[in-house]
Amino acid sequence: MPARRTAGAPLMARLRRRRLSLWSRDYLSQRALWPAIEQAVACALAGRQRADLVVIDLGCGAQPYADLFAGTRLIGVDRSGDDATPDLIADVLQLPLASACADLVFCSQVIEHVTDPPRLLAECARLLKPGGTLVLSGPFYWPLHEQPHDYFRFTPHGMAHLLRSHGLQAVTVRPDSGTLTQVAVSAIHLLPRWARPLQWLINALTPLLQRLSADRLCALNIVAVATSP
């Protein structure tokens, strides 16, 4: 098993570590997603003895969330070692791991890149021990990325349906942001490079304005927590 990971980092520390400032095009998207992920993981781990837990991070990339699982036995899985630091290289649709081997499966921003999302959910459900937890996130709105391997977008109801259809009970299925943030991100992607001062202004004002709006009909991502029976 890989070594246990060490202490966590707050949101702003994560932004600085990724070199994401108010000048960054991805500032709002990461500012929305990271707290939602942290909240979902905290919900999944609440009241559990971390030293006893096996966590599998599917599509782990460079394992940016590893610190959230400090004290657990964390196994990162990715399809290759290119721009990633997996503990295991494997296809997430056909994993060489035993059934019921994980207390928690974490799969963030991967589901849109697989050709068969139901099969991914079947693998997540298979890996979970009885009473285990899945933390899953995927985009509702996101520009095309990692082309041509960008296949799907998900509503909260679609995400909940996928969970139910694989015998998983949804605990929470929530948007990570609201309509104002989604519109702001869309606007930033339309800006030419010379308009970076306007990008800074949008990044600075949007979180403040979003707090004044309860509209969550449009989001950047959907984040779910579900349990295995």
Rounded to 5 degrees, φ, ψ at 164 are -60, -40
Long-range contacts of 152-157 (CB under 8 A, 24+ apart): 152/111, 152/112, 152/117, 153/112, 154/111, 154/112, 154/222, 155/222, 156/222
127 half-sphere exposure, CB direction, 13 A CA radius: 28
What residues does 91 pair with on adjacent strands? 94
User: What pLDDT tens digit does each residue of the chain (229 aa) get?
Assistant: 443 443 345 666 666 666 778 999 999 999 999 999 999 999 999 999 999 999 999 999 999 999 999 999 999 999 998 889 999 999 999 999 999 999 999 999 999 999 999 999 999 999 999 999 999 999 999 999 999 999 999 999 999 999 999 999 999 999 999 999 999 999 999 999 899 899 999 999 999 999 999 999 999 999 999 999 9
Round to whole Å and give the CA distance between 53 and 69.
Answer: 9
* pTM of the entire predicted model: 0.91
